[in-house]
A and B are shown apart, each in its own frame.
Chain A
């Protein structure tokens, strides 16, 4: 087994989440969501999943089924900044596909070689992902950077935004 899979981690905050949701029948999803939130780089490492399975007394296979089913869960560490391109219908009709391609191109991500739904730069600074719809359709196309929404985007506006972001100092 890979060393990282048995890696020790501070289980206390995770236990707190599990205890708080114990009596709720649908707690598993909430626990997983909150566990992801408190994990650095916003993802669910395998040791955490194993821990939750054990403590909540559910098979790991069921947890695995959930975290691979819902797009909210990340199984890989996320970048410092998350750029989310909306791929809703209104955004699509107003050119969001081109925006997505532009973001990937500008950040030097080769999206064609993989089938992944999100992409993270090697330096861990940016993650690019898509969302089915933000419900911001009237302002299409929209993208979000760390949950702040930018509306009526164009390739030119995007380029300026990325320039500003890349100029920021990376998180240490």
Chain B
């Protein structure tokens, strides 16, 4: 190193660890987009005004974009503090607290005591015992910062700081101690693979250029990061441009190239600016140009800006673009190493590939291959975006499972109780990976095996509110637009593929067209000229492979479960309600004081509006446009209010009369329904109105199924249920009670007597928990306990009861026992977040004083000398890695303990009684549910259909009713040969004016019975809305069902 570099290095060390307090603001494009520039200015102004002895710097980005703006604060001798979500108003707070050497806790993300730059180590200091280290933060814990080793810590506009942390040291090592062949060998043994997507061996590629003959050779850096959803190259350049330059210098030396070009997209102005500065600085420092650092080696770099064409990321198009032409692909061979830019031998590598080079040369290949997998060593930077809490750039060793990326680092879905559905990896050339494949390791081979690719590292997470057909359509629209148009398969094929996808999202596609799409995609892959066209059909092919059901739902059911394809629905809430209740209609009619009609509209869609309005999971609220303003509208409470009010006023009869009057003429067809639960009742409601004779059989003495024998009365008063059941009798549904399928009645017999049989037997069979002591007298099943309670059978209640389980049955049993005077503890083997029970129910249980023990797996039940339950022995668990359900696997700690109790309720889950179905000769699925056609609900056994939990497994009452509604329509078509179902519904006219002004208001809360008044009784807790409350809540609806011109 020469004197100039030495003095720069010293200067850099001083600015990195100054003797004064130092503040550094993270100023990547993303930080600036979150206000980091204004924050920097505010710091500068305040420091200037107060004449503070504080050094202020700009640094790059640490990658934790969701927590930006990030600010580093350094007090000499102490660890570096990383502050997050720093706002302008925090500036004065920070400066003031710095005087006292303490920073407000809410701003502190973590500390960095020591940092490994791999080319040097920065030791900041000791202190802040209460603050966690950076690698204890969930977002960083599993990361290994190799490429991003300097990002967020050094000033990217200062070559001095880069030199101070060891920048260019690998280059000096190569140029002074290694022959060019040795450098190539090192890259080869490091098994570095192209980080741009294809994963080709970088060393082999380098060797090709090295061996190519030609008086002039070029190396090119592909920084045309066009993959939508990927931005790692932007940050790599913005945060540490000198690493890229160093990588290219080493490459140039190894391959014998004297000129390099960086082709960068113009959409990254900051990256262009910083790279330009860095190149100028390197040139001034004698690191670029002739006779670099006194050697005979010469190399210089220039920048070419792209002009917005995705296809230019493909290497032959990229070279055409640099030459000043339209970026159209050229056939290979000749390969760039033979004949590339301007006809000269050329090597092209991605930004991140170049950035790996200084690490490999600096630390050696033997060190490098310790990270990652055998075939894919090293790390990869991923841009983790879309529907995850912690978005940002993540650098992970290759081979980590996707679940680590999505759940552990990403923190799962951001929305309330939202389920992650898939990850789209690799951009438009990549594929969609379903959540159940999240145990796939992220490396080149494993991803290719499941039809996706690693690509440049874009990972876009999709949740239940995304539509996979729309996602495929989005990418094909993108590639159709970006196709260079040179070859027919890509230009015409993608246009046709898009046309087919458009038909599906519009609801006009057919099953045959799915086959056509698959064949077309395959032929484009096989015959397109370049990598762009060959991979463009991947999004369609992978979604067809893993999410075919969603395509079919669009085709057969005209339903988009994600609520994206707007041609298929009016309002989001209607779309997500399993019964597709016309919610805007009843809300608007309530506002217009048309109570009877509002109720009529409700009951046509849902024969149990008062019941379901109390116990629903409120699927409608999961997708309410109002949530983007403040909180979702409580649509369910409103239909409960409508029902309660009508019943109170005794006006329901007139609506019942309308339904009775419009019953279709008798068809002479007889239908048996087995099961009087939500599904059976719903099917009966529609079938009887269609003119069929309907008989419901049930094993219990009364109707209602789980509504009566599962849900405790404090959630659903029996008067309401009984009231609503009257409608069925009035419509002349016949009930036959105390008849159990398989014991008192048999399918063969029903088939002989009836024209159709619908099985709606629910999912009542408990999942066995075979632990020693489960046979003791004081051990009961949750479902049996609730059933006994309803049937007023004598139940011996213990003093200290332990409930095993985390579902709704566990909570219902716990809260019922608490009401009966027991002290109750719920024991669950996973964490609280992982409990499948309704979140509101858990909160209420906690309010009632029910204790919870999490991460506790039952081992055995201990008895005293009289063979009575004495304690539950549990194994203490801890959260392990994430499983594909997005929850941490419970892992045994080896520590056991006893929880004393005298009664135990087991509520480990329920399932369909598959044995019963099999004995009745109904085919079952692997999950034990009845096997039915997804759209006709026919079981495959003549005349026999299935609906509700019987076919879906345990689900919500509304979901069961939704399936039953469709099954009823299907049975009617099969019996009558024509579609008549729509006759059961009615169009109501009501106002179609969206609200003019939106005032922020929270969801209206209902009156609740206070906790003290709940003990010793089963009085209903939720008292529902009062009249004006219901009306206020209805006015909160944004009326997203109204489509404005230009939408749709």
Contact = CB atoms under 8 A, between A and B. Distances in A.
A139 B309 contact: no
A89 B458 contact: yes
B482 interface: yes
A138 interface: yes
A150 B304 CA distance: 27
Contacts of A16: none
A105 B1046 contact: yes
A89 B229 contact: yes
Contacts of B32: 149
A89 B231 contact: no
B322 interface: yes
A137 B230 contact: yes
B308 A136 contact: no
Nearest to A111: B1046
Given A69-B327, A93-B462, A151 B228 contact: no
Contacts of A150: 33
B547 to A, nearest CB: 15
Interface string A116-156: 00000000000000011111111110100001011100111
Contacts of B462: 93
Given A26-B323, A131-B267, A133-B231, A110 B1046 contact: yes
B772 to A, nearest CB: 49
Contacts of A87: 228, 478
A92 B478 CA distance: 11
A65 interface: yes
Interface residues of A, number: 48
Interface in B265-302: 266-269
Given A88-B228, A140-B386, A135 B267 contact: yes
Contacts of B267: 131-135
Contacts of B258: none
Nearest to B229: A89
A92 B309 CA distance: 19
A149 B325 CA distance: 31
A151 B305 contact: no
A72 B308 contact: yes
B962 interface: no
A25 B65 CA distance: 39
Interface residues of B, number: 62
A104 interface: yes
B399 interface: no
A135 B231 contact: yes
A69 B326 contact: yes
Contact of B307 (A25, A33, A88, A155): A33
Interface in B204-234: 225-231, 234
A145 B659 CA distance: 56
B308 A89 contact: no
A101 B305 contact: no
Contacts of B162: none
A101 B323 CA distance: 38
A73 B342 CA distance: 24
Contact of B308 (A93, A132, A154): A132
Contacts of A73: 307
A151 B34 contact: yes
B323 A25 contact: yes
Contact of B460 (A93, A139, A156): A93
A134 B478 CA distance: 15
A30 interface: yes
Contact of A139 (B65, B304, B325, B629): B65
A29 B321 contact: yes
B353 interface: no
A133 B266 CA distance: 11
A90 interface: yes
A6 interface: no
Interface in A65-95: 65-66, 69-73, 87-94
Given A29-B324, A101-B1047, A154-B628, A138 B66 contact: yes
Given A26-B304, A87-B228, A105-B1044, A142 B33 contact: yes
Given A26-B304, A33-B305, A149-B33, A135 B268 contact: yes
Contacts of A70: 306-309, 326-327
B629 A156 contact: yes
27 contacts: A25-B324, A25-B342, A29-B304, A33-B305, A69-B484, A70-B326, A71-B307, A87-B228, A89-B458, A90-B391, A90-B460, A93-B462, A94-B386, A131-B267, A132-B226, A132-B482, A133-B226, A133-B227, A133-B228, A134-B267, A135-B29, A135-B225, A135-B230, A135-B231, A138-B30, A138-B65, A150-B33
Interface of B: 29-30, 32-34, 65-66, 225-231, 234, 266-269, 304-310, 321-328, 342, 383, 385-387, 391-393, 424, 427, 458, 460-462, 466, 471, 474-475, 478, 482, 484, 628-629, 998, 1044-1047
Given A29-B305, A135-B231, A135-B267, 12 more contacts: A28-B324, A66-B324, A69-B309, A72-B307, A89-B424, A133-B227, A133-B267, A135-B268, A138-B383, A139-B34, A140-B386, A155-B628
Interface of A: 25-30, 32-33, 62, 65-66, 69-73, 87-94, 101, 104-105, 110-112, 131-140, 142, 147, 149-151, 154-156
